[in-house]
Amino acid sequence: MMTTSATPVQLLMSRRSTKLVRGPGPSDQELAQILQAGMSAPDHGALRPWRYVVIRDEAVGRLADMAIAAVKRTGDPRMTPEKEKNNRTWLAQVPLVLGVAQKSFFDGKIPEHEQMLAVGASVMNVLNAVHMLGYAAFWSTGLGTNVPDVQEALGFDPLEYRFLGFVAIGTPAVDLPTMQRPDFHEFVTEWTGGKPHM
Contact residues for ligand FMN, defined by CB under 6 A = 16-17, 138-142, 165, 179
φ, ψ dihedrals at 10, nearest 5°:
-60, -35
Minimum CB distance to ligand FMN, residue 120 (Å): 7
β-partners of residue 139 are 167
Nearer to ligand FMN, 31 or 100 (CB): 100
Nearer to ligand FMN, 181 or 195 (CB): 181
Nearer to ligand FMN, 20 or 59 (CB): 20
Q: Which residue is nearest to ligand FMN (CB)?
A: 17
Nearer to ligand FMN, 107 or 175 (CB): 175
Minimum CB distance to ligand FMN, residue 119 (Å): 10
Nearer to ligand FMN, 108 or 182 (CB): 182
Minimum CB distance to ligand FMN, residue 3 (Å): 19
d(CA 69, CA 72): 5
Within its chain, how far is the Cα of 88 from the centroid?
A: 19
Minimum CB distance to ligand FMN, residue 91 (Å): 14
Minimum CB distance to ligand FMN, residue 195 (Å): 34
d(CA 58, CA 81): 22
